Amino acid sequence: MVQKGYGATSISDIAQAVGMTKAGLYHHITGKQDLLFQILIHAMDGVERDVIERVKQIEDPEKRLREIIRLHLRRLFENGLEFALLFPERRHLEPAQQDAVVQRGKNYLGLICVALSELADQGKLRDLDINIAAVHILQIITGVARWCMQDTGISEDHLVEQAINFGLSAVLER
The pLDDT tens digits of the residues spanning 41-73 come to 988 999 999 999 999 999 999 999 999 999 999
How far is 150 from 92, CA to CA, in rounded Å?
A: 26
How far is 59 from 130, CA to CA, in rounded Å?
A: 19
Q: How many residues comprise the chain?
A: 174
Q: Is the pTM of this model over 0.85?
A: yes
115 closest CA partner among 74, 64, 47: 64
Sequence ranges of the domains in the chain: 31-171
Q: What's the CATH fold of domain 31-171? A: Tetracycline Repressor; domain 2 (1.10.357)
Q: What is the pLDDT of residue 73?
A: 93
The pLDDT tens digits of the residues spanning 106-153 come to 999 999 999 999 999 999 999 999 999 999 999 999 888 777 766 778
CB 84 within 8 A of CB 76: yes
